[in-house]
Each structure stands twice: as C-alpha cells, then as structure tokens.
A and B are shown apart, each in its own frame.
Chain A
Amino acid sequence: MLLEVKNLKKQYGAVAAVKNVSFQVERGESVGLLGPNGAGKTTTVSMIVGLVTADEGQVLLDGQPITSDTDMRKALIGFVPQDLALYDEMSAQANLELFGALYGLQGTALKDAVQRVLTLVQLADRRGHKVGTFSGGMKRRLNIAAALLHNPKLLLLDEPTVGVDPQSRNAIFDNLEQLRASGVALLYTTHYMEEAERLCDRIVIVDQGTVVANDSLRGLYQRHGASNRLAIELAAAAPGDWLTALRAVNGVMRAELRGQTLNVEVRALADDVPEVLTCVKQHGLTVTHLASERPDLEHVFLSLTGRSLRDP
C-alpha cells in the first residue's frame, strides 16, 4: 500500500477540522477526495505531507510513518498546494530549479528534470519568463510541474484547477491522465464532480471532517440510489392512467410527463429500459427519441448528506 491514512483527527480550537478520516491509496491508483468547502480536505492533505501535526491517527507511506522533516521518503509524494506556490519574481526555470534542488536534484539531473516537466506542461518556450507575467492557467500548470520534478510515486493535488479556464483545465487533465497512465498514483482533492468522475478510480467523500463514503464510482452509484435518468420523447402528449402503470413497473423509481417528454428514473439501465419501453408501447404511445443521462456524484452526495455539494 502506497499511502495509508488511519483515523486522522485535527482540532483547531473549537473547530473540529478533521474528525475521523481513514483511506488508502494503492500504487498507480487514482483516488478522489471529494467534499464541500470546509469539509477538511486541505487539513487532511496537510497532515499527509507533514505540514500539520495530527492530533490523533497515523499516516503511513509505503507502510512506514514519516518520522522527521528531513525523511527522504517525503520525496515519494509530489505535493501541489491549493494556493499557487510559485515565486512570481523569478522565472519558471528558476522556480523549478529551486524546487528540484529541495529534493536533492543537482547538475544535469536537475536540468533534465526541469526540461521534462516544462515539456509536459507545455511551458518550455516560456521557461525564461517571470512567473508573474503568466496567465492563471499557465501558473496552475507550472504549479503542478513543480511537484513532478523528483518523480514522485504519489501526486497529491489540492484543488489544482481552481479558477482555471476550460482550455487550461483540459490541458491539465491531459497531463494528469498521462501521469496516471505512466503509473503515478493520484490523490485528487476537489469539489468538482466531473473532475473526480473523469479522473478517479475511487472516490472518498468527506463531509464535516468524516468520511461518508469510500467506493468506486460504480459502487457509489449503485449503493447510493443514484438513478439512471431516461428522457423519452413521445409523438403526442397523452396524459392518462398509463403513467400509474408505468410507475408500477419493476425498477422504475420515478416517472413524470412534461409536455411530450417523459422523464423516467430507473435503477439499472440495461435491465429496466426494455420493460419501460414495453409498457409505453402497450399503452399505444409512440416513442420518437430516447436519451439516457449519466448518474452523477452530486446525487450521491445529496443522498449521503441530504445537502448539495456546491453550496454547503
């Protein structure tokens, strides 16, 4: 196991930032740490990288706790802080050289590493420019590059796409998928559903300092009532008691008619859709179009906590 987080707890005065958080990340696995503002994500991440001392609990890297500030096993982690941690006054290259040196890189090894990450995030042509002159998206990319110089086994990203335009976000995601494919494990903190859905094998949902779910995407959807939604367009609006019959069909959780569109929620797409269509047909209705919507984490979170993820 690459990373084991066991029963972490951190109290700030009256605020219990982290109450009880445990999860694991395997080699090469990519895990999303999901939760609303103030859930304790950053605090958890800070305890993992040793910035904050946990009140209780343990962090094991490769099965061993980190014992000191200078423990070289800290280099297993590449840390991308939530804030842009870059020196605006220095060039991209100078920034990277500094951060590489902190992990013991020197000489040509350092030069090569700088070149490699600059190429990865497509900033090689801007290497000599001061970071202060970079756009927000470029800074975000460099912020990630700075964590990759020493070839970490685990990349720990704390909301790496905050305030990023869609184009840069895509670029970042391409980079992360590339890294993931090359075997780097990711621990990805966010409150954007679609990011976690796109990138993560497994999702750990935290709320108010505790883990409320820890599962694969599929498992979460299945377990937490996230339904598959169907939008069935009918040839003509035909209200009637057939709706009651449809709601009685096994697997149908909800059915509503709005104009000519029939919205149906089913438990399992493959099993339930044929039955829904049969029922509709039996009542003499003509289907002109059928679409299904993917389930999402927003629903999972809502069902877990009774609150929406975006505005706590």
Chain B
Amino acid sequence: MSPVLLSLVRKDLRLFFSDRRSVILSFVVPIALASFMGAITGGKGSDKVNRVSVLTVDQDQTELSAKVMKNLAGDPGLEAAVSELAPARSLVRNGKVPVAIVIPKGFAESSARAFFGSGERPVVTLFTDPSHATEASMVRGILTQHVMQAVSTAAFNGHQGAETIDSLLADVEDAGAVGDPALRDMLSGISRWQHQQATQPKPAPNEETEKGGLQIPFETRVEALAAEQGESYDGYAHSFGGMGIQFVLFASIDCAVALLTERQRGLWRRLRAAPLSRSMLLLSRAISGAIIGALILLALFGFGAVVFHIQVSGSLLGLLMVCTAFALMASTFGLLVASLGKTPQAARGLSVFAVLVMVMLGGAWFPAFLFPTSVQKLTLFAPTRWAMDGIDAMTWRGLGLEAAVLPTLALLGFSVLLGTLAVSRFRWEAD
C-alpha cells in the first residue's frame, strides 16, 4: 500500500475508533443481540410457519405411493414438489428446502402388511435442515396422516389390499408361523369381504372410508442434513452471522456519514488540494470500511466461538473469504450512500432503512424460506442473502470450501457494481 493510501486509511480507522458511540454500536450491540437471538432460536427453527416447502421422492412408484404423493401435494400446509433422491438431498443440505420425504421401494407392500402388524415396517426417510426442526416435525405429522389414509383405504378397498391379505393368509396357513387363530379368522374374514366388494360396484370413496386404520404402518427416519451427519444446527452461528451482517452494514453507513461530514467540514477541500487522485481518496475509504467490517465480523465470531462454542464445521478459509467479500461489499455500499447522500443526516436516514430491508431479505432475522416463493427469488438480489448463505454453509452446515465460492463471487460482483456506481455518481465539486 502506498504511504499516502496508508495514512488515509489510518486516519479513517482513527476517526472510527475515536467515536465511542459508533464502536459500541458496531461491536457491543451486535454481540448482545446475537447472544439473545441465538438463545431464543438455538437449535430450533421458527414457529411462525405458513406453508412449508417439501420435496417428495417416490422410489416405490405404486398406486399407493402415488396416492400419498398426491395427498401431500394437496395438503394446505405444504408446498410440495416432486424430486429425485440426489437433488433432494443436496437441496436440503444446502438449505434451499427445509424438508424432503423419501418413500422407499417396496413401501406399498410392506406398509400394508405392517398395517396389520406383520412384517417389517417400511422406513420413510425425512431429510431435514437442522435449522428447521419445527417444520420437520410438522411435515412428519402431515405425512403420517396421509400415509394412514392411503394405506387404510387401500387395505380395505384396493387391489393392493386384497393381495396383501391373501398373502398374509397364506403365510399364516402355510407355515403356521402365526399361531394366532383370532388373527387367522380376522384375515379370512377381511379376505371374504374384499372379494365380495370387488364383485360389486365400488362406492365412491368418502371421508368415512378414507379414515380407517389399525396401526401406523411405517417408520420415519429423520436424517438431518448438515455438515457431517449428526452435526446439528447452531442458532448462535446463524444469529452471530446475521447480526454481524447487519452491523457491518450499519458501520458502513457510519463511514459514509463520516465521509460526508468530512466534506461538510471542509476537510475534503484540504485533502483534494493535495497532489493525490480522486480514486485514491475513495479507495482509502473503501479499504478502511472493509477493514472495519472485517474486524466487526472477526470480533463477533471470536466472541461466539469462545462463549457459545460456535464451530466452523466447514472451511475456515471459506468463511474468511465470504466475510472479506462481504466487508468489501458493505464498504462499497457505504461509498454509494456517500455519493448519493446530500447531507450526513439524509444519508443516514434513508440508508438505515435500506440496510434493514436488505438484512431482512437476507434471512438474518428469520429464515428466508418463510417468504413467498416470488420474494425468495427476489432475495437473490440481496447481497445479504449471499453472505448469510455463505456464512451458514461454512459454519454449522459444514460445507466445503467450494460452497463458499459462489457467495464470495456474488459478493465481489456486488462490490464492483456498487463501487462503480458510487464512483460514477460521486459529486466531487459539492461543498
């Protein structure tokens, strides 16, 4: 760094740290807030669920599984989409979808048997995002309801049911494996009833007939997908990341305000009278802003690591990359604020609002999947969303370095965009 640039950056840092108010606001407040939010959301997702997005994977491809799929799709509490095993797993792992349901091969057959208490119960796998435990249990409840309906209907009315009963009966009679005469009687009774039903016109299925059932005919196995298997959601990691993002942006507003105050106080005139370029002046501000932002994130994660044992389960390098790129993005955002703001006061008012919207869209307050789908797409235009995804990925999700690359690039892209805009809109002659 050139000595001139260095002295300008040092000056900015000095000014920032000489203002006790902004230091407390930037370092102490986010730590306090993040601790609080981490404590109330720790390990649990939000309760304010409207429609939960789920992916459904049908490996069975039977009449029964299709019916379950159809019922899930029609459930008012869910927003179900059909998927395949591999993409479902990776979407959940990457936090794009909170839950996926995998109906295994052989589900129809074994569930029907299990319904009557015989044989292994099929295992329906739920991939869940550990940060959304509430959604996962809600989906589990809804799933049970639909499977029970479908299986019981099929058992008493359907083709599959008849086959099951017959084969169960055969088992009982042949091997005498089940020496329970009562069960044998019941099974042959149902069998007779089914054959009789099959020869008569089928009554329209109604609520009555759909809701029968004896036993929960399947098991669920919850597979939390984050980091290595078993690594669990850390509410502190998320809240410290989220608060870090919010307060780095606030600090960048402070830097913008400092720049405008500098200009208002005529200091800008002295700086500009010296033989140094305009780009040097703005660059020094961008660098000092980024350093302050990085320090805030460092302090937050440092505090979180020591006090709340936040772990970087993914790549530390990746986390540093995302944090650095975000700090740079925030400081160019500050420059843009400075180039658009006329007075320090005006700049602060409008940009605080902008930051709050960005932070909210980024999912730093509550999970982004709660938004309507259209808004979720919109959040991709919020740099905070990328930062949040990147930080989540590198901390509790425990994803590798490669998962940090896209967020880092996106944030650098935003930095270039905002920086260019700021430089082109900067009013050099304003007094």
Contacts and interface: CB of A to CB of B under 8 A. Distances in A.
A280 interface: no
15 contacts: A50-B272, A70-B275, A75-B274, A77-B273, A83-B265, A83-B269, A85-B265, A90-B11, A90-B14, A90-B15, A94-B11, A102-B274, A102-B276, A146-B270, A147-B270
B321 to A, nearest CB: 32
A244 to B, nearest CB: 57
Given A90-B11, A98-B7, A70 B276 contact: yes
B23 to A, nearest CB: 12
B274 A89 contact: no
Residue among B3, B7, B18, B276 with max Cβ neighbours from chain A (10 Å): B7
Q: How large is the interface on A (under 10, 10 to 19, 20 to 34, 35 or more residues)?
A: 35 or more
B19 A102 contact: no
B266 A83 contact: yes
A286 to B, nearest CB: 59
Interface in A50-76: 50-53, 68-75
A109 to B, nearest CB: 12
A77 B8 CA distance: 20
Contacts of B266: 81-85
Interface residues of B, number: 25
Contacts of B274: 74-75, 99, 102-103
Given A90-B11, A90-B15, A106-B3, A99 B277 contact: no
A301 interface: no
Contacts, number: 89
Contacts of A72: 275
Residue among A70, A86, A146 with max Cβ neighbours from chain B (10 Å): A70
B267 interface: yes
A125 to B, nearest CB: 22
Contacts of B269: 46, 49, 51, 79, 81, 83, 85
Nearest to B278: A69
Given A99-B270, A101-B7, A102-B8, 6 more contacts: A49-B272, A75-B274, A81-B273, A90-B15, A98-B7, A103-B274
Interface in A183-236: none
Contact of A51 (B6, B15, B272, B277): B272
A81 B270 contact: yes
B295 interface: no
B222 interface: no
Nearest to A147: B270
Contact of B273 (A49, A89, A90): A49
A50 B14 contact: no
A103 B3 CA distance: 10
Interface in B4-32: 4, 6-8, 10-11, 14-15, 18-19
B306 to A, nearest CB: 31
B14 A89 contact: yes
A94 B277 contact: no
B271 interface: yes
A235 B266 CA distance: 59
B265 A70 contact: no
A72 B4 CA distance: 13
Interface in B409-431: 429
Nearest 10 interchain pairs by C-beta? A83-B266, A101-B7, A102-B274, A85-B270, A89-B18, A79-B273, A74-B275, A49-B273, A85-B266, A81-B269
A221 to B, nearest CB: 34
A97 interface: yes
Contacts of B11: 87, 90, 94, 98
B39 to A, nearest CB: 36
Contacts of A82: 266
Nearest to A88: B265
A146 B267 CA distance: 12
B3 A101 contact: yes
Interface string A21-63: 0000000000000000000000000100111110000000000
Given A84-B266, A89-B19, A101-B4, A94 B14 contact: yes
B275 A75 contact: yes
A102 B271 contact: yes
Contacts of B272: 49-51, 69
A85 B265 CA distance: 7
A68 B14 CA distance: 29
A100 to B, nearest CB: 9
Contacts of B6: 101
Contacts of A85: 265-267, 269-270
Interface string B271-308: 11111111000000000000000000000000000000
A138 to B, nearest CB: 17
A104 B265 CA distance: 24
Residue among B4, B265, B269, B429 with max Cβ neighbours from chain A (10 Å): B269
Contact of A97 (B7, B276, B277): B7
A207 B8 CA distance: 38
Contacts of B18: 89-90
A86 B7 CA distance: 15
Nearest to A102: B274
B343 to A, nearest CB: 15
